């Protein structure tokens, strides 16, 4: 399904051409490809190699539909209801806003969702908690990209963490760290994500205010 040879993409090229993909087709993703992607994910960092994580693969339509509703609540609260303000501020481009809006309204159409979960720390107040899973999530999204599969890291469902925990049968002390919808892109391309100039965000030795 990928137009490219997965082995033909260089590491550096991959790092520079894996934007969030928010227009995803409903075309199925094979179990074999998914397994290869997850096998790349778990090679990411885990503090003390503890691997206190679980990777929940969701394809069930009813489960996706319920969580997508919660996601849309989160979208409406954080973005949808502030549409004019966000677009006026320039913090998101109109194209990015529309793509995120599209995802919110079509989330359940993505054929596969992955929830990366940490086991144990539901009550943690450690701001660096994610250091033991988001590197692996990035590996997942990069491996997907090598196979022509798009994804994006989302957390807008999180106000309903208890509901998600129940649907996924997670223990009380587990926490879902993200929802990553996966799908073959229906629109857009593997372009380099636009970012602020490096000189605005990189500092030598000491931070300083920059206008």
Secondary structure of residue 160 in the 3-state scheme: helix
Task: Considering the complex, state which of residue 81 and residue 131 has its C-beta at the smaller distance from a second copy.
Answer: 131
Instruction: Report yes or no: 155 and 145 within 8 Å, Cβ to Cβ.
Output: no
Min dist CB 165 to a second copy, Å, is 9
Task: Considering the complex, state which of residue 92 and residue 186 has its C-beta at the smaller distance from a second copy.
Answer: 92
Q: Which two tokens stand for residue 50?
A: 């503890």
How many angstroms separate the CA atoms of 211 and 191, rounded? 28
Task: Considering the complex, state which of residue 26 and residue 191 has its C-beta at the smaller distance from a second copy.
Answer: 191
β-strand partners of 181 = 113
| Cα–Cα distances in angstroms (integers) from residue 79 to residues 24, 58, 65, 87, in the given order | 20, 25, 20, 10
| Cα–Cα distances in angstroms (integers) from residue 31 to residues 34, 75, 116, 124, in the given order | 5, 30, 17, 34
Min dist CB 7 to a second copy, Å, is 5
Task: Considering the complex, state which of residue 28 and residue 45 has its C-beta at the smaller distance from a second copy.
Answer: 45
Min dist CB 40 to a second copy, Å, is 4
Instruction: Report yes or no: 39 and 131 within 8 Å, Cβ to Cβ.
Output: no
CA atoms within 13 A on the CB side of 27: 12
Min dist CB 62 to a second copy, Å, is 10
Task: Considering the complex, state which of residue 141 and residue 183 has its C-beta at the smaller distance from a second copy.
Answer: 141
How many angstroms separate the CA atoms of 143 and 127, rounded? 27
Secondary structure of residue 121 in the 3-state scheme: coil
Map tokens 């503890």 to a residue: 50
Task: Considering the complex, state which of residue 21 and residue 106 has its C-beta at the smaller distance from a second copy.
Answer: 21
Min dist CB 109 to a second copy, Å, is 18
Min dist CB 57 to a second copy, Å, is 5
């Amino acid at each position: 399904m990928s137009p490219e040879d997965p082995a033909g993409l260089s590491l550096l090229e991959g790092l520079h051409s894996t934007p969030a993909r928010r227009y995803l087709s409903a075309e199925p993703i094979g179990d074999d490809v998914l397994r290869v992607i997850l096998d790349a994910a778990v090679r990411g960092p885990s503090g003390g190699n503890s691997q206190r994580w679980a990777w929940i693969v969701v394809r069930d339509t009813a489960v996706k539909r319920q969580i997508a509703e919660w996601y849309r609540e989160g979208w409406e609260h954080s973005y949808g209801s502030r549409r004019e303000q966000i677009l006026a501020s320039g913090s998101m481009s109109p194209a990015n806003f529309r793509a995120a809006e599209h995802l919110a309204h079509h989330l359940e159409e993505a054929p596969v969702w992955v929830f990366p979960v940490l086991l144990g720390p539901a009550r943690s107040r450690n701001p660096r908690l994610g250091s033991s899973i988001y590197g692996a999530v990035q590996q997942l999204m990069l491996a997907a990209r090598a196979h022509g599969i798009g994804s994006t890291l989302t957390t807008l469902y999180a106000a309903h963490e208890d509901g998600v925990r129940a649907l996924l049968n997670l223990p009380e002390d587990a926490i879902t760290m993200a929802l990553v919808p996966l799908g073959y892109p229906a629109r857009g391309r593997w372009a380099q994500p636009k970012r602020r100039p490096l000189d605005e965000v990189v500092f030598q030795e000491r931070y300083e205010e920059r206008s």
